[in-house]
């Protein structure tokens, strides 16, 4: 079957670094996405990984290991506005499958 | 560039009634998706169109849900009759193969409450 696992909730402190993990099992792989979703809003694109390694974009970085079926999203210098759900999604062919999301709470 | 438009933003109906949602994707985006997102869960793909053809509708409850994209641009999703478990946010998204990251652009969603 196809499955994406990520932690349900995480809490971190403003200014700190947090790593959100994602493991996946899909029948195919054309790339892995991270989306941010604030409460009551639509998801917005953060990153896309298709090759192994780390992709850095400002305060956000995303890592992929295809052999391990594993990715993480790294958020540095956390700000209060980073409190949101972070969705891991895998394109396994024609279809993109989303995980349930990790709710991140940033506290002062 | 205008984003993905959806209407209505909110809808409250009684069970067994019917409801329709409308989506207008970003201009030029050939691929259009309808997702159902239940509170606390990730988006679940209901149907994916490539232009006006269906690519995937394996998770669409076809006994009550229907969708069309007749001219390959805007799309409607209909539920008839609605059940309590259909209460969710219905998200429309679009994408284009010309975008290297294949990211999907989401509309604001329609929040459906079935009572």
pLDDT, tens digit (0-9, with 9 covering 90-100), for A36-85: 999 989 999 999 999 999 999 999 999 999 999 999 999 999 999 999 99
Q: How many CB atoms lie within 10 A of CB B88?
A: 20
A interface toward B at CB cutoff 8 Å? 4, 30-31, 33, 41-45, 48, 87, 89, 91, 94-101
Give pLDDT, residue B102: 79
Contact pairs from chain A to chain B, CB under 8 Å: 49
Residue A1's pLDDT band, with cuts at 50, 70 and 90, is low
Residue A8's pLDDT band, with cuts at 50, 70 and 90, is very high
For residue B50, give every residue at least 6 positions away whose Cβ sits within 8 Å of its Cβ, in sequence order, or none.
Answer: B30, B31
Q: Cβ–Cβ of A42/B102 closer than 8 Å?
A: no
Residue A95's pLDDT band, with cuts at 50, 70 and 90, is confident
Average pLDDT for chain A: 95
Residue B1's pLDDT band, with cuts at 50, 70 and 90, is low
User: Which candidate in B4, B38, B42 is best for mutational testing of the A interface (most A CBs within 10 A)?
Assistant: B42
Which chain A residues contact residue B55 at CB under 8 A? 94-95
Q: Over 90: is that where the pLDDT of A92 sits? A: no
More confident residue, A27 or B81: B81
Give pLDDT, residue B71: 87
Could you read off the pLDDT of B41-83 as tens digits, one per residue?
999 999 999 998 999 999 999 999 999 998 889 999 999 999 9
The 3-state secondary structure of chain B reads: CCCCEEECCEEEECCCCCEEEEEECCCCCCEEEEEEECCCCCCEEEEEEECCEEEECCCCCCCCEEEECCCCCCEEEEECCCCHHHCEEEEEEEECCCCCCCCCEECCCEEEEEC
Give pLDDT, residue B2: 81
Whole-angstrom distance, CA of residue B10 vs CA of residue B108: 10
Q: Cβ–Cβ of A101/B55 closer than 8 Å?
A: no
Mean pLDDT of A22-37: 94
Q: Over 90: is that where the pLDDT of B22 sits? A: yes
Q: Which of residues 44-83 of B touch A (CB under 8 A)?
A: 44-45, 48, 55-56
């Amino acid at each position: 079957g196809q499955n994406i696992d990520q932690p349900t909730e995480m809490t971190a402190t403003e200014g700190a670094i947090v790593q959100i993990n994602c493991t996946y099992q899909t029948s195919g792989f054309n790339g892995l996405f991270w989306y941010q979703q604030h409460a009551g809003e639509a998801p917005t694109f953060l990153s896309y990984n298709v090759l192994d390694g780390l992709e850095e974009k400002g305060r956000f970085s995303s890592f992929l290991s295809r052999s391990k079926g594993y990715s993480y999203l790294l958020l540095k210098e956390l700000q209060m506005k980073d409190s949101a759900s972070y969705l891991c999604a895998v394109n396994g062919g024609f279809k993109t499958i989303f995980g349930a999301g990790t709710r991140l709470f940033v506290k002062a | 560039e205008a984003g993905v438009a959806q209407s209505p933003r909110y809808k409250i109906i009684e069970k067994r009634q019917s409801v329709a949602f409308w989506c207008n994707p970003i201009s030029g985006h050939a691929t259009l998706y309808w997702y159902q997102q239940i509170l606390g869960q990730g988006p679940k793909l209901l149907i994916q169109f490539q232009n006006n053809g269906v690519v995937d509708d394996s998770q669409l409850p076809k006994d009550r849900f229907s969708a069309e994209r007749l001219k390959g641009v805007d799309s409607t999703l209909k539920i008839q009759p609605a059940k309590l478990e259909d209460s969710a946010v219905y998200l429309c998204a679009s994408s284009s193969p010309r975008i290297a990251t294949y990211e999907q652009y989401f509309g604001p969603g329609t929040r459906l409450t079935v009572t």
